[in-house]
């Protein structure tokens, strides 16, 4: 990664994020971008089933309940699972920008342990856009939406074309996704100029 900055604050010449005019209205559930997604997929039995909702501006909220399958230490959520919940919530911001992007960098702070059974209240927003680079930040609170912060993250997502998935994904899943009109509709919904 030589010559590449690891900073997760937008550079000085970054621009503020612009909410797409066709973005879901504040309060609207965002649904899943892929039913087999480990973060949000409704058909993914091993996943987090994270449910995100559009917020004001370029922000989202989400909830995720820690289940026994998500343990690291006895009775406590695994840190990687919590990082996934943050990553997924940050990824949901794409619904509001209507771009397709993937995580390039994710920096996570684990502030408090999160017991099994906890509902994690997540919030994410875009802090700046610089070309294809989308800077964003997220928190996860316990004990309610205004409870103490248990986890937080800063991230850099990089905008990509749909070809990123077509060229790199395993053919059987890609071909199934391309044959599914609902999936193609979701992919198109992320694009500014479909």
Binding status of residue 131 toward ligand PKZ by CB under 6 A: yes
Cα dist from 97 to 80, 88, 192, whole Å: 26, 15, 8
Cβ–Cβ < 8 Å for 175, 162: no
Question: What value, to the nearest 5°, has the Cα angle with vertex 143 and ends 116 and 152?
Answer: 80
Q: CB of 179: closest distance to ligand PKZ in angstroms?
A: 10
Q: Which of 49, 104, 110, 105 is CA-nearest to residue 78?
A: 110
- CA dist 118 and 132 (Å) reads 36
Among 2, 4, 22, 181, binds ligand PKZ (CB under 6 A): 4
* Binding test (CB under 6 A) with ligand PKZ, winner from 15, 69, 102, 176: 102
Out of 87, 121, 123, 124, the residue judged to bind ligand PKZ by CB under 6 A: 87
Determine the Cα angle at 74 with ends 72 and 80, to 5°. Answer: 15
Of 66, 85, 100, 150, the one binding ligand PKZ (CB under 6 A) is 100
Does residue number 187 form part of the binding site for ligand PKZ (CB under 6 A)?
A: yes
Chain centre distance of CA 137 = 10
How buried is 2 (Cβ within 10 angstroms: 0-12 exposed, 13-18 middle, 19+ buried)? exposed
Q: Which is nearer to ligand PKZ, 64 or 190 (CB)?
A: 190
- State which residue, 74 or 171, has the beta carbon closest to ligand PKZ: 171
The 18-57 site mask, x for binding ligand PKZ (CB under 6 A), equals ---------------xx----x------------------
- By CB under 6 A, is residue 135 in contact with ligand PKZ? no
170 binds ligand PKZ (CB under 6 A): no
Q: Calculate the alpha carbon distances from 46 to 38, 67, 135, 150 in Å.
A: 7, 10, 29, 23
Contact footprint for ligand PKZ (CB under 6 A): 4, 6, 33-34, 39, 87-88, 91, 100, 102-105, 131-133, 156, 158, 160, 162, 165, 177-178, 187, 190
């Amino acid at each position: 990664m030589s010559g590449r900055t690891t900073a997760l604050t937008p550079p000085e010449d970054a621009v503020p994020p612009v909410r797409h005019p066709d973005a879901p209205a504040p309060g609207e559930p965002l649904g899943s971008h892929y039913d087999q997604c480990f973060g949000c997929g409704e058909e993914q039995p091993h996943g987090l089933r994270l449910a995100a909702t559009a917020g004001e501006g370029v922000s989202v909220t989400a909830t995720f309940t820690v289940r026994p399958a998500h343990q690291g230490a006895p009775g406590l959520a695994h840190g990687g699972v919590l990082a996934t919940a943050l990553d997924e919530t940050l990824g949901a911001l794409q619904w509001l920008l209507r771009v397709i992007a993937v995580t390039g960098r994710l920096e996570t702070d684990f502030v408090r342990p999160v017991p099994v059974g906890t509902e994690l209240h997540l919030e994410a927003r875009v802090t700046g856009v610089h070309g294809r680079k989308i800077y964003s930040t997220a928190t996860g609170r316990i004990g309610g939406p205004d409870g103490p912060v248990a986890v937080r993250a800063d991230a850099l997502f990089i905008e990509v074309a749909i070809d990123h998935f077509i060229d790199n994904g395993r053919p059987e899943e890609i071909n199934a996704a391309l044959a599914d009109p609902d999936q193609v509709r979701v992919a198109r919904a992320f694009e500014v100029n479909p």
